[in-house]
Amino acid sequence: MNVLGFTILVTLGSLLAGFLGALTGLGGGVILVPMLVVFFGIDMPYAIGVSLVAVIATSSGAAASYVRDGLANLRLAMLLETATTTGAILGAALVALSIVPSEYLALIFGVVLLISAVLARKVRTEKDRPSRSDPIAVCLRLPGSFPGPQGDARGYHVQRVPLGLVLMFLSGVLSGLLGIGSGAFKVLALDQGMRIPFKVSTTTSNLMIGVTAAASVGVYLTRGYIDPALAFPVVLGVLLGSQFGARLLARLSTTTLRRLFSLVVLILAAKMIWKGLHP
């Protein structure tokens, strides 16, 4: 394959990654890493490095729309970022010191995605929805509202803030290790752990992943793992795709988003587990 053909294919694949990343809260990195490794033969550390740059681009492209439309919880995102950025720096340091081999990274990635796909299928009923927020959430003014299909404001509660901080620290470690922004883990922590509506979970995750990725991308840059020739088409495609995804998300039902999230993550989990078992 010549350079032009390679660039076009990478750009198209990145556009799809940005589109799905914005819709599901995964940030695109969860799709980019296996795409670059499995289909284009890029070494894992280089795929992770350019993916982190693309994750920042995805977050920048979609998060502004989500905050403007009242879908993302900005106050909650800023609180949880204190935990997830700390974990991201730790995860990046583990990769930079070559403590975790590439095939183990792929296996970890695949297992995390597999668990994410199963848990994402769990839909909360009316009885499962919290009737009040926990005291910490009330004290920090974390509960909020988001626009419904008819434009009406729907209030929601926030629960188990300490659990959310612990899960976000772990998601930050995964982000630094895997270069994915750990959007899948963030969405699950917000949705299943803190009982926040799925649309708010995905949009708040998109807002957070760029900050998480920025915390660890410097380590990859200093190690020479970010190739500008590869980063340019990836970032261009991801930015365009995330804009399309952000516009479509508000029109889709929660059930559709859950199914899409689960399907994409399940396919990627299978690919990365296979890659880890057959390096």
pLDDT confidence of residue 99: 66
| Residue with the two structure tokens 């190690």 | 223
CA distances from 112 to 105, 174, 253, 270 (A): 11, 9, 25, 11
> pLDDT band for position 209 (50/70/90)?
confident
Please work out, in degrees rounded to the nearest 5, the angle formed at the alpha carbon of residue 80 by the alpha carbons of 79 and 85: 115
pLDDT confidence of residue 162: 92
End-to-end CA distance of the chain: 23
pLDDT confidence of residue 165: 92
CA distance 226 to 220: 7
Segment 3-28 mean pLDDT: 79
What mean pLDDT, rounded, does the chain reach? Answer: 77
153-156 and 144-147 beta bridge pairing:
antiparallel
Per-residue pLDDT for 224 more than 60?
yes
Per domain, the residue ranges of the chain are 3-277
Segment 219-233 mean pLDDT: 82
Per residue in 112-171, pLDDT tens?
Answer: 777 767 766 666 555 556 678 888 888 888 888 877 666 667 888 888 899 999 988 987
Per residue in 21-78, pLDDT tens?
Answer: 777 666 666 677 778 887 888 887 888 888 878 878 777 767 777 777 788 888 898 8
**Counting Cβ atoms within 10 Å, is residue 126 exposed (0-12), middle (13-18) or buried (19+)?**
exposed
Please work out, in degrees rounded to the nearest 5, the angle formed at the alpha carbon of residue 17 by the alpha carbons of 71 and 231: 110
Segment 92-103 mean pLDDT: 69
Residue 70 in tokens: 């009242």
| Residue with the two structure tokens 């899960």 | 167
Per residue in 184-203, pLDDT tens?
Answer: 678 778 887 888 888 888 88
Highest mean pLDDT among 3-7, 80-84, 182-186: 80-84
Per-residue pLDDT for 267 more than 60?
yes
pLDDT confidence of residue 28: 65
pLDDT confidence of residue 217: 76
Single out the residue of 6, 13, 5 nearest to residue 51, CA to CA: 13
Per-residue pLDDT for 1 more than 60?
yes
